[in-house]
Amino acid sequence: MRRASLIIVLTFCLCACSTEQKQETFDATPATESKSRLDASTLKHFDSIGLTAMQAGDLEIHCIDVGQGDSTLIKCPNGTNILIDCGSLADTHPLAVRNYVRDHLDGLRLDVLVITHPDADHYNMIPYVLKGVAIGQLVMIGDADEHNAKAFTTNSWQKKNRGFADWLETIELEKVAVIDQDDLDDADDPSDDLFDSGDVEIYIVAAEEDDPSNLSAKNTRSIVLMVVYEEFACLLTGDATFPTEDAIVDRYEDDWLDVDVLKLGHHGSRRTSTSTNWLNVTKPEVCVVSASYHNSHGHPAHDVRMKVEQHTVQSEPHRMRWYRGQDNPYNLNTYREATYCTARNETIVISTNGQSYSLTYSD
């Protein structure tokens, strides 16, 4: 079973703000055992801990605050940079997103761009954010014509007259890998030919899954990635739905799917994603949600909260925002389970040396 001890680092923001910092350490235990918080006497305080505290050999997973949308930047120890999605429908600051991504790319080069599925909140900011950035490889599903939402731009004429499909046509064909079920990885065979991620193993565990329940066909097709670095494992799910989760569970051994961090599917939706069986198999210690503060979809849902709490470890109190239904949000300012959401915690950065991992976020 892959497990690592957990170190959580809280910071007021990802820039050079000065605020009290906390560090909390957990011993990893199997998901079926009790995970008790350490005595408060073990806590240490620091004047400043932020992204500069991450070591050169660490894997970094940046769950970027894009409002109601999704975007994740993976920075591998060997220098490979992978961006998974970059879109939003509301509550975003596009210039801040653009600056954040570009500030974390080496030489304005992105090795791999992954578009998990053709929903605008996963791709419509890409032309704006990546303007002038060299892209080595594009991994996607479906046809360019499916990505027909308007691309975000600060130019009103372009916004009215140019769709995202137009931008896709600017990518050289030899750089585009269109993924389907024939391209899924075995548990012992990561997608090294696509990601060239060194000691980090990245697996495509779902893509173009069928939706027999007619729940949400486009979301069910999402690309789902497993990221493994020595003893650390993380699942990045896009908008994966119950049928996607079921397909992954049927395809792989339960022990292999036991992860440290799970990014919840479809922004924490109760209607489409994060089944009890999925959680019982993946057993996440930490969950991350990408959603906006003022969304009208009920993301993340209280029902999902109740399910993930059966697996997440306890943490120091932090802010969370959950929804009962679509229009009944409530804030928890002293939430003690290790689930974090961009709606309250802004950009969330996971850093790991393969044996332990830390979370950096705003509170």
pLDDT in tens, 274-332: 999 999 999 999 999 998 788 777 669 889 988 999 999 998 899 988 887 777 888 88
Across 7-21, 232-246, 298-312, 313-327, least confident range: 7-21
How many angstroms separate the CA atoms of 299 and 270, rounded?
Answer: 8
Residue-wise pLDDT tens digits, 73-82: 999 999 999 9
**Higher local confidence (pLDDT), 200 or 1:** 200
Is residue 362's pLDDT more than 80? Answer: yes
Name the more confident of 248 and 1: 248
Q: What percent of the chain stands above pLDDT 90?
A: 60
Q: Average pLDDT over the chain, rounded to whole?
A: 83
* CATH class of domain segment(s) 5-11+55-361: alpha beta
Question: What does the domain layout of the chain look like in residue ranges?
Answer: 5-11+55-361
Phi-psi region of 246 (alpha: psi -120 to 50; beta: other; left: phi over 0): alpha
* pLDDT greater than 70 at residue 273: yes
Say what the pLDDT of residue 297 is. Answer: 79
| Helical (H) or strand (E) element with 203 | strand 201-206
What CA–CA distance (Å, rounded) separates 117 from 120?
9
